[in-house]
Structure formats: C-alpha cells, structure tokens
Amino acid sequence: MAMAKAVVAPSYQPIESIVRDGEDGILFKPADRGSLKASLEYLIADEKKRSYIGMNARKKILGSYLWKHNAGKILDIYKKVLKSD
C-alpha cells in the first residue's frame, strides 16, 4: 500500500479493519477463486481505478500506519497509565 499499488486481499479480519473495499484496496471472498479472479480482472481492466485505489492506499499508510504513529499511540497509553497512578 505504501508503494501506491492497489492491494487485493481476502476479506478477513483484521484486513477488513484497515482496507476499505473499492477505496484503498479490493477485498475478495476468502477461498473463492472466482472472487479473486474477478477482483484482479477488475483492476487490470481499469487503470484509472487502479491508480485511484493505489494513491488512496498510500495516503492511508502515510497518514496513519507508520511506526511513528504506532509509537505515538503507545506513548499516549503510557501517559494515561502514569496519570492514573
């Protein structure tokens, strides 16, 4: 996703909690070859949509899913724990 590439992934948790189908990735039904094939064909056939999804994916990663974001969340939790003592 960080490389601005459209991601095709099975619709399992926790993937569904991050990837918005049709917005920043394409989700297919797990263990369903036809669903995977349709998802891939859809992206192959539509360069504009593929680019749109890829750019949205990159924006999402850069805005919320870098290590610095995770570190910030951990520091926030740590500060709350210290305040509660």
**What pLDDT, in 10s, does the model give residues 20-69?**
999 999 999 999 999 999 999 999 999 999 999 999 999 999 998 888 87
> Is 49 in contact with 29 (CB distance < 8 Å)?
no
Cβ density class 22-46: b for 16+ within 10 Å, e for less: eebbbbbeeeeeebbeebeebbeee
Give the H or E element holding residue 28: strand 26-28
Number of separate domains in the chain: 1
Mean pLDDT of 4-26: 96
Q: What confidence tier does 10 reach under pLDDT thresholds 50, 70, 90?
A: very high
Residue 20: domain span: 8-84
pTM given for the model: 0.79
Asked if residue 42 is part of any domain, the answer here is yes
Asked if residue 72 is part of any domain, the answer here is yes
Asked if residue 1 is part of any domain, the answer here is no
What per-residue confidence (pLDDT) applies to 85? 67
Asked if residue 70 is part of any domain, the answer here is yes
- Separation between Cα atoms, residue 34 and residue 40, nearest integer Å: 10
Asked if residue 30 is part of any domain, the answer here is yes
Asked if residue 3 is part of any domain, the answer here is no
Asked if residue 60 is part of any domain, the answer here is yes
Asked if residue 2 is part of any domain, the answer here is no
- Given a cut of 80, whether residue 9 has pLDDT beyond it is yes
